[in-house]
Amino acid sequence: MRKDRNRAFAADEAGGGANRSDASAARHAKTTGRICAPHAENTAAGTSPTAASGDTQAPAGSTGHAPALSDAAKGPLRATGPDDASGPPGENGLRTTRAGAAPDAAVPAAASAPSVGAIRRPAEEGPLFILPDGSVSHAIPLDRADMQRLRLVLLDFDGTLADTREANYRAYARTLAEAGIELTREAYLSTYFGMRSREFLERIGFGDPAVRERLRLRKIALYPSCFDTLRLNRPLWAFAQAFRAAGGRVWIVSTGSRDNIRNAMRHLGIAGGIDGMLTGEDVARSKPAPDSFLRAMAAEGAAPHETLIFEDSAVGLEAARRSGAPCIAVKF
């Protein structure tokens, strides 16, 4: 029975397809109406909130969220870009349209991945692949023995198979502007990119599940209008297709929305090039819990040592580590 369900999952895609809340931060929030972020030192190398967690536990502190924003905080407000001169945002890059509309507690910041985030180079050079031993390459250096051992490749989507950072930022910025919140590019890319939509919205203060769902659906509707900024990771996609041609299986395992990913894949011309997909909607515990990776392995009958994962975010890399499978980090 379980095998039949797993096959159905795969068939669906094959054809279509630290946290610091000190008193000063709280006072700042109450007096300015801005949401205050934790100080930068709490996300320095070696302070990931997942580091002390057990192999199947959510990161420490992940259940603490800011209280809900006032429902009165509505109205149009433009998104902040690099040339914005309308005044300083809050420390985490969020602005509200009126005083008192912001939560009065600090918003937890997501951990960064030092081994990936420390690398800087011009974007036109293409993505980099960071191996478990720390070596960096523009290619995926697997030999014949590696290829013969592997049965399954699991790809994160946002930031790994495709550079969706700008598209996601623009869609969220427009969505939040309609709710009276201004989101800066820097805040989103440094703190929230790669986070599951519901968690992101809750962390910035939307406590009402109905409001979060409305905003999530609005973002999905706006997302395709931003697809002109998408970039495919062509070396990784070529590798995935060569792996499939040799008899391997390829799944997308993402915290993102299934609709968002399918729409982006159609735009990039890569729909139908995978064997299965798992998203944040398919598991109770999202990354950094390893559940989604383990579920994909179970669906294909592949052991961790027969699986290779590609990821970009700190939570994704941690989920891969907990799954027991080797992982190659990607940096656009």
| pLDDT averages per 10-residue partition of the chain, 332 residues | 45 43 36 35 35 34 32 31 39 42 35 37 72 90 86 97 97 96 94 90 95 96 96 97 96 94 96 95 92 98 98 94 97 92
Output the pLDDT for position 94. 52
Please tell me the distance from the alpha carbon of residue 256 to that of residue 243, in angstroms, as a whole number: 24
Output the pLDDT for position 144. 83
Output the pLDDT for position 209. 96
User: Residue ranges per domain, the chain?
Assistant: 2-15+114-163+231-331, 165-229
CATH architecture group of domain 2-15+114-163+231-331: 3-Layer(aba) Sandwich (3.40)
